[in-house]
C-alpha cells in the first residue's frame, strides 16, 4: 500500500495551484463582494481545459483520472468556492450527458461544454423540494412530440449565466431529466442576490411557464431522472465538493500557520501559546483525514468500484464538516483581523457553511451512510 | 459464466446492501425499505465492473433492475451478446 500521487498528478496539481494563484487569488475578494463571476475568468478556465477536465479527449476534454479531477477541485477550493462551484455544476451536467445522453444530445452539447464554449447548470432543487428530491412539483406534459414544462426551480448555481440546464420534472408522476436551453421563451431566469456564502456563484430561480421543449431533449428514459441521471450527477458533485472542502480547509490551515508565526502576543509569537498549538494540531489532523477520505473515494471512482458511491458520501460528509471546523478555528486564531477583507478567512468561513448544505446536507449524508451500513447487517 | 453463476454473484453483491432473508428471486428490491437513492447507481456500477458490460440508455427499464431475477437476466443477455 502506497498513498502517493503519481508524477503526472503532482505536475497537474502544481499547474492548478499556479492557475489559482495567478488568475483567482488577486481578484477573488472583489468579485465575491460584487456577486459577479468574471466572464474572462470562465474563458481562462475553459482555455486551460478545466471545464472539460472530466470529458474524454474525443470531446475536447482533458480526460483526467478521478484523483486528478479531485486535485483540480481541491486547488480551486483553496482559492474560491464559487469557482469550484462552477466546475462542479458544469461537470455534473457534462458527465450525465456523456453517460445517459443520446447521440444527438452528445453531438449538440458534449464538445461545446467540454471546451467551455457553453456553460451548463443543474436544476433539481425547488422552493419546496430540497433534501427531499422526490417531492418535485415541476411537471412535464407530452405535447405532440414536445414536452410542456411548468414549475419553479430555486438555488440553481450559475443559472444566471448558464446556456443550458439539466432540469428535472415529473412526467406522469415520474422524475425525468431534460435539457432546457436558456433562450426558451417559456423560461424566465431570476437572479438570487445577497447570499452569505459562495456569493459569486450567480444563483437564480428558474420559472417555467408552458416551457415547450423538443421530445428529443429528454435525457435517459422517462422516469429515470431520479436516481439514475440525477444520482450520477450528484455523486460526482459530492466528490467535487468533498475535494473543494479539503482545499478550503487546507487554505485555512496554511493561512493560520503563517499568522501564528507572525503575530505576537504577550511578547511571543502566537505559535508559542499551547492553546494555539492545540487548535493548529486539530486543524492539521482534520485536513489529513479529509484528504485520505477524498483520495480513497477518488481511487474507488477510478476503479469503477460500487463502493465508490458510499466512500464519496463519507468523504463529502467529513470534508464539509472539516471545512467548517477548520475555517472557524482559523477565524479564532486570526481574531478581529479574520473578519476583514484583508484576509481570506472571512470568505472561507462564510463559504464553508454552504458546503454542509449543498449536494446533500450533512444530515442527509448521515441518513444515507447509516442506512446502508445498518441495512446490510440487519 | 452461466445463469446460476451470475445469480450467485448478484446475490452476494446485494448482501452488502440489504438483508437477504426472505428475499425471493422475483421480489422487488426497490420496494424493500433497505435501499436508498445511492443504491441504484451502486447496482449499475456493480454489473458493469463485475461482468464487464456497459449499461446503456436502452437498458434503463425497471424490469432490468428490480429483482435478483431481473438483474441476472440483464447480465445474461448482455454477456451473451458480447
Q: What are phi and psi of A180, to 5 degrees?
A: -125, 125
- The mean pLDDT value for A124-141 works out to 92
Q: Which residues of chain B have a CB within 8 Å of the CB of A231?
A: 37-38, 40-41
Predicted confidence (pLDDT) per residue in A250-262, tens digit:
999 999 999 999 9
Beta-sheet pairing, A204-214 with A218-219: unpaired
> How many Cα atoms are found within 13 Å in the side-chain-facing hemisphere of A274?
0
The answer on pLDDT for B70 being more than 80 is: yes
Contact call for A313 and B35, based on CB within 8 A: no
Chain A contacts to B (CB-CB under 8 A): 100-102, 133, 220-221, 223-224, 226-228, 231-232, 235, 303-306, 308-310, 313, 367-368, 371-372, 375-376, 378
Enumerate the CATH 1.10.540.10 domain ranges in chain A, comma separated.
7-114
Predicted confidence (pLDDT) per residue in A13-53, tens digit:
999 999 999 999 999 999 999 999 999 999 999 999 999 99
pTM: 0.96
Instruction: Find the CB nearest A375 among B18, B61, B62.
Output: B18
Q: For chain A, give me the number of helices (H) and strands (E)?
A: 12, 10
Instruction: Find the CB nearest B49 among A101, A221, A305.
Output: A305
Predicted confidence (pLDDT) per residue in A160-178, tens digit:
999 999 999 999 999 999 9
Instruction: Find the CB nearest A375 among B19, B48, B62.
Output: B19
Beta-sheet pairing, A146-156 with A139-143: antiparallel
Mean pLDDT of all residues in chain A? 96
pLDDT on residue A92: 98
Nearest residue in B to A377, CA atom: B19
Q: Which residues of chain B have a CB within 8 Å of the CB of A305?
A: 45, 49
C-beta separation of B51 from B61 below 8 A: no
Instruction: Find the CB nearest B18 among A305, A367, A376.
Output: A376
Q: Which residues of chain B have a CB within 8 Å of the CB of A371?
A: 34, 36
Predicted confidence (pLDDT) per residue in B21-52, tens digit:
889 999 999 888 778 888 999 999 999 999 99
Length of chain B: 82
Quote the minimal CA–CA distance from B29 to chain A in Å. Answer: 13
- Annotated catalytic residue A359: yes
Quote the distance between the C-alpha of residue A165 and its chain's center: 16
Three cell numbers written together for A56: 474524454
Enumerate the CATH 1.20.140.10 domain ranges in chain A, comma separated.
226-377
> In whole angstroms, what is the distance from residue A67 CA to residue A293 CA?
12
Instruction: Give one DSSP letter per residue of A61-79, joined into a string.
Output: -----HHHHHHHHHHHHHH
Nearest residue in B to A132, CA atom: B37
Quote the minimal CA–CA distance from B80 to chain A in Å. Answer: 22
Contact call for A227 and B16, based on CB within 8 A: no
Quote the minimal CA–CA distance from A104 to chain B in Å. Answer: 13
Q: The domain A120-225: what is its CATH number?
A: 2.40.110.10
Report in angstroms the alpha-carbon separations of A174 from A47, A136, A170, B42. 39, 10, 5, 21
Nearest residue in A to B47, CA atom: A306
Enumerate the CATH 2.40.110.10 domain ranges in chain A, comma separated.
120-225
Instruction: Find the CB nearest A304 among B13, B39, B48.
Output: B48
One of 1.10.10.10, 1.10.1270.20, 1.10.540.10, 3.30.1360.170 is the CATH number of A7-114, namely: 1.10.540.10
Contact call for B16 and A371, based on CB within 8 A: no
Domain A226-377 has CATH 3.30.9.100: no
Predicted confidence (pLDDT) per residue in A281-331, tens digit:
999 999 999 999 999 999 999 999 999 999 999 999 999 999 999 999 999
pLDDT on residue A342: 93
- The mean pLDDT value for A332-359 works out to 96
Amino acid at each position: 500500500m502506497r498513498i502517493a500521487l503519481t508524477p503526472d498528478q503532482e505536475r497537474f496539481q502544481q499547474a492548478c495551484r499556479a492557475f489559482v494563484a495567478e488568475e483567482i487569488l488577486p481578484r477573488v475578494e472583489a468579485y465575491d463582494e460584487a456577486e459577479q463571476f468574471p466572464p474572462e475568468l470562465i474563458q481562462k478556465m475553459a482555455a486551460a481545459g478545466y471545464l472539460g477536465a472530466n470529458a474524454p479527449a474525443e470531446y475536447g476534454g482533458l480526460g483526467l483520472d478521478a484523483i486528478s479531477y479531485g486535485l483540480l477541485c481541491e486547488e480551486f477550493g483553496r482559492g474560491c468556492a464559487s469557482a469550484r462551484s462552477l466546475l462542479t455544476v458544469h461537470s455534473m451536467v457534462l458527465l450525465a450527458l456523456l453517460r445517459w445522453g443520446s447521440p444527438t444530445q452528445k453531438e449538440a452539447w458534449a464538445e461545446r461544454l467540454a471546451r467551455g464554449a457553453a456553460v451548463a447548470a443543474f436544476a433539481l432543487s425547488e422552493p419546496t423540494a430540497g433534501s427531499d428530491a422526490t417531492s418535485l412539483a415541476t411537471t412535464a406534459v407530452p405535447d405532440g412530440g414536445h414536452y410542456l414544462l411548468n414549475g419553479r426551480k430555486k438555488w440553481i448555481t450559475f443559472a444566471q449565466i448558464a446556456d443550458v440546464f439539466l432540469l428535472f420534472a415529473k412526467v406522469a408522476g415520474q422524475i425525468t431529466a431534460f435539457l432546457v436551453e436558456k433562450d426558451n421563451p417559456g423560461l424566465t431566469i431570476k437572479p438570487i442576490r445577497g447570499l452569505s456564502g459562495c456569493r459569486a456563484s450567480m444563483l437564480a430561480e428558474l420559472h417555467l411557464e408552458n416551457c415547450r421543449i423538443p421530445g428529443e431533449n429528454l435525457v435517459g428514459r422517462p422516469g429515470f431522472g431520479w436516481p439514475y441521471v440525477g444520482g450520477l450527477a450528484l455523486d460526482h458533485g459530492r466528490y467535487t465538493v468533498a475535494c473543494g472542502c479539503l482545499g478550503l480547509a487546507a487554505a485555512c490551515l496554511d493561512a493560520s500557520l503563517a499568522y501564528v508565526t507572525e503575530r505576537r502576543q504577550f511578547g511571543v509569537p502566537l505559535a508559542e501559546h499551547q492553546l494555539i498549538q492545540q487548535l493548529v494540531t486539530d486543524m492539521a489532523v482534520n485536513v489529513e483525514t479529509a484528504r485520505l477520505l477524498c483520495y480513497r473515494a477518488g481511487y474507488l471512482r477510478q476503479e469503477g468500484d460500487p463502493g465508490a458511491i458510499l466512500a464519496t458520501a463519507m468523504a463529502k460528509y467529513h470534508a464539509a464538516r472539516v471545512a467548517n471546523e477548520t475555517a472557524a478555528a482559523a477565524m479564532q486564531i486570526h481574531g478581529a483581523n479574520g473578519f476583514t477583507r484583508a484576509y481570506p478567512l472571512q470568505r472561507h468561513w462564510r463559504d464553508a457553511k454552504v458546503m454542509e448544505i449543498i449536494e446533500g446536507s450533512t444530515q442527509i449524508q448521515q441518513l444515507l451512510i447509516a442506512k446502508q451500513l445498518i441495512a446490510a447487517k440487519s | 459464466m452461466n445463469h446460476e453463476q451470475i445469480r450467485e454473484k448478484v446475490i452476494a453483491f446485494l448482501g452488502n446492501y440489504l438483508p437477504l432473508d426472505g428475499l425471493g428471486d422475483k421480489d422487488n428490491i426497490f420496494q424493500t425499505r433497505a435501499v436508498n437513492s445511492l443504491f441504484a447507481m451502486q447496482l449499475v456500477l456493480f454489473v458493469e465492473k463485475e461482468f464487464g458490460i456497459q449499461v446503456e440508455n436502452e437498458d434503463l427499464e425497471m424490469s432490468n433492475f428490480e429483482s435478483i431475477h431481473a438483474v441476472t437476466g440483464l447480465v445474461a443477455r448482455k454477456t451473451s451478446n458480447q
